[in-house]
Amino acid sequence: MTKKVLLLPGDGIGIEIVAEAVKVLQALRNDYGLAVETETALVGGAAIDATGGPLPEETLQLAREADAVLLGAVGGPKWEPLDISIRPEKGLLGLRAGLGLFANLRPALLYPQLASASTLRPEVVAGLDIMIVRELTGGIYFGQPRGIRTLENGERQGFNTLVYSESEVERIGRAAFDIAMKRNKRVCSVDKANVLECTELWREVMIRVAKDYPEVELSHMYVDNAAMQLVRAPKQFDVMVTTNMFGDILSDEASMLTGSIGMLPSASLDADGKGMYEPIHGSAPDIAGQGVANPLATILSVAMMLRYSLGEEALAARIERAVSRVLDQGLRTADIHTEGTTRVGTARMGDAVVAALAD
């Protein structure tokens, strides 16, 4: 049966990189038998400009009906003056919450060809393969109460709430352990249990969940240490599981181990495998419209979509092989360019991946 994929390019480089990912999807449809149809809708700043809000009801409805969603990025300086409750980023958060996408998988995998593109020494990152499992629909991002209030003395006070229920921790814990079972069977739970009660409970629940996975080794690390260990000796990690905000920060940090934030894809999954797929980076206003953004994180997000939501493992592997081939050919966008390689723009990189699908 033909699967439905909803495309949400969004803002800034989102439009440029999704265009390249669509070339790959179309090539898989035309030449490799992928039964897929796409539809495009508005989210983020583009939706604000067209409809007044960052997540039109129609977009959410189309996302619910689709088998999978591919998102570019949202946000940009144009919409920063708006109230935080109606900014582009709220569109993305609304999709995650509205679709129940609580499990965010962010694989930091170093393609060996890019060992010298990382800002860390090649021997520190060579062979790197970490899976960051980020809780995505709870924590301080969604906790109530939140806001800015005026105190009696006239001073304003900003406040947000870090909150996790046991069931929320348990389901992200299970997601992480299930993944670890298919990998090297090690889970490191990252928290701040020495200071925050919320993550003290998080740790307790992780220990409980671990009892159902006797083959998996669970360790715990405070987030400040984890941030340091990621650049000191990143290969010590297999699966890292953490809260919404810690996962946001640590995954940007981990992306640099792979050469560039433009290399890191993600899958955001619900309890039944329905998913939204996006690069972990943003709309990159500093390079938007120049045709220089790296489309590989988005193309690799398509591979994750084929693997996790469309049941097309062989085609997912085909995309990943094609990306590797293109790196073998020495093609590099500016963010991963090093001496002796060929610098190409966004579209040329996308075309090269399409051509390499045949290899």
Q: How far is the CB of 195 from ligand IPM (least distance, A)?
A: 22
Question: Given candidates 4, 23, 89, 186, which one binds ligand IPM under the rule CB under 6 A?
Answer: 89
Q: Is 92 in the site for ligand IPM (CB under 6 A)?
A: yes
In the bound state with Mn ion, the residue whose beta carbon lies nearer, of 113 and 301, is 301
Count residues near ligand IPM (CB under 6 A). Answer: 7
Amino acid at 157: Q
The one among 123, 152, 286, 339 contacting ligand NAD by CB under 6 A? 286
What is the token pair recorded at 325?
């081939």
Closest C-alpha to 68, from 267, 295, 297: 267
End-to-end CA distance of the chain: 27
Q: Which of residues 231-260 bind Mn ion (CB under 5 A)?
A: 248
Provide the minimum distance between the beta carbon of 279 and ligand IPM in the complex, in angstroms, as a whole number.
Answer: 9
* Measured distance CA(203)–CA(196) in Å, rounded: 11
Tell me the closest approach of the beta carbon of residue 113 to ligand NAD, in angstroms: 17
Q: Is 281 in the site for ligand NAD (CB under 6 A)?
A: yes
Query: CB count, 10 Å around CB of 313?
Result: 12
R_g over Cα of the chain = 20
Q: Tell me if 145 is assigned to a ligand binding site.
A: no
Tokens 């796409």 found at: 38
Q: In terms of DSSP H, where are the helices of the chain?
A: 13-32, 45-51, 57-65, 88-98, 122-125, 166-181, 197-210, 223-232, 244-255, 296-308, 313-328, 346-356
Question: What's the closest the beta carbon of residue 155 comes to ligand NAD, in angstroms?
Answer: 27
Does 93 bind ligand IPM (CB under 6 A)? Our answer is yes
Rounded Cα gap, residues 23 and 21, in angstroms: 5
Does the footprint of ligand NAD cover residue 173 (CB under 6 A)? no
Print the binding letters for residues 56-75 with ligand NAD: x by CB under 6 A, - otherwise.
Answer: -----------------xxx
Query: Which residue is associated with the tokens 């049941």?
Result: 311
CA dihedral 107, 113, 116, 118 (to 10 degrees): -20
Residue 93 binding partner per list ligand NAD, ligand IPM, Mn ion, none, with a CB distance cut-off of 5 to 8 Å that depends on partner kind: ligand IPM
Q: Is 290 annotated as a binding residue?
A: yes
The answer to whether 285 is a known ligand-binding residue is yes
Question: Taking Cα atoms as reference points, which of 232, 282, 265 lies closest to residue 111?
Answer: 265
Task: Give me the active site residues, please.
Answer: 141, 192, 224, 248, 252
Owner of token pair 């560039």: 260
**Nearer to ligand IPM (CB atom), residue 96 or residue 318:** 96
In the complex with ligand NAD, the residue whose CB is nearer, 62 or 263, is 263
From CA 180, how far away is CA 174, in angstroms rounded?
10
The Cα–Cα gap between 199 and 30 comes to 49
The residue ranges that bind ligand IPM (CB under 6 A) are 75, 89, 92-93, 248, 280, 282
Binding residues for Mg(2+): 224, 248, 252
Binding residues: 76-89, 96, 106, 134, 224, 248, 252, 282-294
Q: Contact positions toward ligand NAD, by CB under 6 A?
A: 13, 17, 73-76, 89, 92, 261-262, 278, 281-287, 293-294, 297, 335
Interface residues with Mn ion (CB under 5 A) are 248
